[in-house]
């Protein structure tokens, strides 16, 4: 009977949550690093958009020149 009462008291006792050490400084540093990385990624995305715009402009310019040269060669071969 004694074992049962001890078990019953143990089972019904108020539970204590484990106390974990707070790593507030580490968490704040990580948040700052994440924010810095987000800004960096945003900057890289903007840079990529500018590069893609310039790339598309160069491709269009080259295609126009190639078309112009093809037209000139066709005139030369017809005569």
DSSP for 31-58, written as a single string: HHHHHHHHHHHHHHHHHHHHHHHHHHHH
Length of the chain counted residue by residue: 79
pLDDT digits (tens, 9 = 90+) for 35-79: 999 999 999 999 999 999 999 999 999 999 988 888 877 666 665
**pLDDT for position 34:** 94
């Amino acid at each position: 009977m004694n074992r049962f009462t001890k078990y019953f008291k143990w089972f019904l006792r108020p539970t204590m949550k484990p106390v974990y050490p707070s790593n507030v400084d580490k968490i704040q540093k990580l948040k700052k690093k994440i924010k810095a990385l987000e800004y960096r990624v945003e900057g890289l995305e903007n840079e990529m958009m500018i590069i893609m715009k310039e790339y598309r402009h160069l491709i269009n310019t080259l295609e126009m020149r190639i078309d112009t040269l093809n037209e000139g060669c066709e005139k030369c071969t017809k005569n």
